[in-house]
């Protein structure tokens, strides 16, 4: 019996060999003196390379080849080759033959015009569909091997120098053709061996491929083995954090009304909601936790998840995980004060258990208001956003901004009644300083503010700037930075450089260092950005404010400790003793013993007033504390490189820049001090000279 089987296998191999008709190098290079048959392997084009094998040197002038020991069958049609390779479970040769076939027809070197190129693409799809029909029409049990093209490890092994862009094009062509084929042949799709597909595709693109061909997830739930379910969960959880949301999505396919957090996703399996939840809590992935809770529609299961998050030690009474408790409380408060009031996600016992705990670290930012208040919205007069995506619109924007700056300084500052006096009585001298002008304009609320924010793609290693948002109190501009030519980018660079250097505009950022890093990378082929004036970074963790007395704001020059000036004067005077006293003193000791010790002119007076440090973990946190409104961060991680941008993304970018102006204005109202930075003394002196001559132009 065994000999009979071996004879059949040998006969089948001979038939396959006869059908495939392997092409050899002898007929290819026309060297009749070299008679040894040699298979043509999978070839990768490289210029100026000589193929060497067994003392045989084949010189090729325009194109040369490197072998990876995979057979390319180019004499036969692709729909005659692939079905036999699938039957033989030859994953590598399936991959290299399809890659070679598609790249051969996508090459533009032998194409005369665009119509011929389109015909080649149609031919690719037609032959691939014909190939699928031949694979599945005879109930081929190994048709799943056509999905080897989605295993990146196999692609690298057969074609190491294949570019990522080429790989994506090949996979897209194959996926589109498979989707079209399975739409018209649902029976074949339902007969796919899901466990074999899991082994072939591997975990990174497994769910992506299934979604692309509209695979029925109920079939996956029934037919996938516990071993493969555990394998996928282990890879999604233990590799990198980017796959944890995929694990949540994968878990949703196996949930049921009668399961608890300890029930395995698959019978006889290992992974369950408890292990998934434990990993999320240990990594402190709040957004993923909220996604998990939102995905669970069964009340009993959701109650068990929340109970686990707020569980405490019976002996000490402390929470088993403080972060888990805070996240659960935040989720419940969000549901309580949010718009979704119809969903009863927790019973009274869980509600009381969470809201009546003694440790209350998720506090309201204002005593009179709840934590979750209404969203910050744009005023009606600013909703007509100017979207800039061409040079003409950009030049018009520059003209409008310059005109608005000029009008602001002439009407609000340079008029005779309200201009800052040239004599600074507070400083007891006749010298008008850059710092004094800035402080006075801020105190009198006459600065011209401009909020600036940059959006970029968070999903790529190289963070490319996509959108630049610029806001004033009158207009908002959204500048599209994607898909622009060099000349347009040069115009944007000149404007951005002018904007940062212009001391007549007070630029508001949140995390200026990060934004300038992104923009410097964006302009790396043009020039560097080194000089800036009047930059206010609201991400600065230290805000000093004076105490309010009798409900009247005491906002005088000697009540504010302006750290930038203090540090500058201390360094210039080389006062080591003062520096030591500063770093070793308490607030009280510092105020009591170092008052009026900065310089002889008493430019900075430190009175015995209250000093407070505030720390803001995010712009949303700052907005809640200062404006008592929250920001909708739904579109923060959206894809900012897709064009056109939707209206929600544009509004989000507008709010992120405009809210900076409102926050700074409220900081002034409440007596807080924000830091205004400049790094060029010459421009600061030039600003003072222009101010004296009532000139606000800047070129």
pLDDT per position as a tens digit, 650-682: 998 899 999 999 999 988 888 777 788 888 888
Domains of the chain: 1-21+73-212 (no CATH), 225-362 (no CATH), 386-542+613-692 (3.30.420.10), 544-593 (no CATH)
- Residue 442 in this model has a pLDDT that exceeds 60: yes
- Residue 527 in this model has a pLDDT that exceeds 90: no
More confident residue, 365 or 626: 626
**Taking a C-beta distance cutoff of 8 angstroms, is the pair 570, 578 a contact?**
yes
pTM greater than 0.75 (yes/no): no
At residue 334, the 3 state secondary structure works out as helix
pLDDT per position as a tens digit, 1-47: 444 456 666 665 555 555 444 433 333 333 333 333 333 333 333 33
Dist. CA 119–CA 112, nearest whole Å: 11
Most confident range (mean pLDDT) of 252-261, 399-408, 548-557 is 399-408
Compute the Cα dihedral for 244, 248, 373, 655 and give only its sign. Answer: positive
Query: What would the DSSP string read from start to end of 81-121?
Result: HHHHHHHTT-HHHHHHHHHHHHHHHH-STT--SHHHHHHHH
| pLDDT on residue 602 | 37
Dist. CA 684–CA 698, nearest whole Å: 12
Q: What average pLDDT score do residues 610-626 get?
A: 71
- Residue 695 in this model has a pLDDT that exceeds 50: yes
| pLDDT on residue 610 | 43
Dist. CA 91–CA 95, nearest whole Å: 6
Q: How far is CA 463 from CA 136, 169, 241, 515, 634, in A?
A: 44, 23, 18, 11, 19
Token output for 99: 């890659």
Sorting pLDDT into bands at 50, 70 and 90, what band is 234? confident
| Residue 228 phi, psi dihedral angles, 5° rounding | -70, -35
Most confident range (mean pLDDT) of 47-56, 587-596, 601-610 is 587-596
| pLDDT on residue 494 | 92
């Amino acid at each position: 019996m065994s000999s009979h089987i071996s004879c059949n296998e040998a006969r089948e191999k001979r038939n396959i060999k006869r059908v495939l008709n392997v092409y050899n190098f002898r007929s290819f290079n026309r060297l009749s003196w070299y008679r040894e048959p040699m298979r043509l392997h999978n070839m990768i084009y490289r210029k100026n390379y000589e193929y060497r094998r067994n003392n045989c040197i084949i010189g090729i002038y325009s194109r040369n080849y490197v072998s990876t020991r995979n057979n390319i069958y180019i004499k036969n049609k692709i729909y005659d080759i692939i079905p036999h390779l699938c039957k033989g479970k030859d994953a590598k040769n399936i991959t290299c033959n399809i890659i070679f076939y598609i790249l051969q027809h996508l090459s533009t070197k032998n194409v005369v015009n665009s119509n011929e190129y389109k015909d080649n693409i149609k031919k690719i799809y037609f032959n691939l569909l014909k190939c699928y029909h031949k694979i599945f029409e005879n109930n081929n049990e190994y048709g799943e091997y056509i999905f080897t093209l989605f295993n990146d490890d196999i692609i690298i092994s057969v074609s190491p120098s294949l570019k990522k862009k080429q790989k994506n094009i090949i996979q897209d062509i194959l996926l589109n053709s498979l989707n079209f084929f399975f739409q018209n042949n649902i029976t074949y799709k339902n007969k796919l061996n899901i466990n074999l597909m899991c082994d072939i595709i591997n975990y990174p693109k497994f769910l992506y491929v299934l979604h692309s061909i509209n695979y029925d997830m109920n079939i996956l739930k029934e037919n996938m083995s516990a071993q493969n379910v555990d394998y996928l969960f282990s890879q999604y959880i233990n590799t990198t954090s980017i796959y944890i949301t995929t694990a949540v999505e994968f878990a949703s396919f196996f949930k049921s009304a009668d399961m608890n957090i300890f029930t395995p996703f698959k019978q006889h399996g290992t992974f369950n909601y408890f292990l998934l939840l434990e990993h999320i809590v240990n990594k402190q992935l709040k957004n993923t936790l909220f996604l998990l809770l939102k995905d669970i529609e069964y009340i009993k299961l959701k109650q068990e998840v929340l109970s686990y998050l707020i569980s405490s030690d019976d002996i000490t009474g402390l929470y088993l995980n403080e972060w888990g408790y805070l996240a659960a409380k935040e989720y419940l408060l969000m549901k309580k004060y949010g718009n979704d009031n119809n969903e009863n996600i927790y019973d009274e016992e869980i509600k009381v258990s969470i809201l009546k705990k003694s440790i209350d670290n998720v506090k309201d930012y204002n005593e009179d208001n709840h934590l979750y208040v209404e969203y910050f919205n744009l005023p009606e007069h600013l909703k007509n956003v100017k979207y800039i995506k061409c040079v003409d619109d950009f030049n018009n924007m520059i003209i409008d901004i310059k005109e608005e700056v000029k009008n602001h300084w002439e009407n609000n500052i340079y008029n005779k009644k309200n201009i800052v006096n040239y004599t600074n009585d507070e400083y007891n001298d006749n010298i008008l300083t850059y710092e004094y002008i800035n402080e006075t304009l801020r105190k009198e609320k006459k600065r011209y503010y401009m909020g600036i924010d940059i959006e970029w793609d968070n999903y790529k290693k190289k963070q490319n700037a996509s959108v630049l948002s610029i806001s004033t109190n009158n207009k908002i501009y959204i500048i599209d930075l994607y898909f622009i030519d060099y000349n347009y980018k040069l115009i944007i660079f000149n404007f951005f450089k002018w904007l940062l250097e212009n001391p007549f505009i007070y630029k508001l950022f949140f995390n200026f260092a990060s934004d300038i890093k992104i923009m410097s990378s964006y302009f790396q082929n043009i020039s560097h950005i080194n000089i800036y004036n009047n930059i206010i970074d609201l991400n600065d963790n230290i805000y000093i404010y004076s105490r309010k007395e009798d409900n009247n704001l005491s906002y005088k020059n000697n009540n504010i400790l302006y750290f930038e000036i203090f540090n500058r004067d201390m360094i210039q005077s080389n006062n080591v003793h003062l520096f030591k006293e500063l770093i070793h003193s308490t607030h009280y000791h510092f105020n009591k013993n170092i008052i009026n010790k900065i310089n002889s002119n008493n430019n900075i007076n430190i009175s015995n007033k209250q000093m407070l440090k505030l720390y803001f973990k995010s712009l949303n946190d700052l907005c809640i504390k200062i404006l008592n409104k929250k920001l909708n961060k739904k579109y923060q991680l959206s894809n900012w490189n897709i064009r056109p941008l939707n209206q929600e993304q544009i509004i989000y970018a507008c709010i992120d820049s405009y809210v900076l102006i409102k926050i700074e204005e409220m900081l002034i109202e409440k007596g807080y001090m924000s830091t205004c930075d400049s790094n060029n003394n010459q421009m600061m002196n030039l600003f003072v000279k222009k101010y004296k001559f009532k000139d606000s132009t800047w070129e």
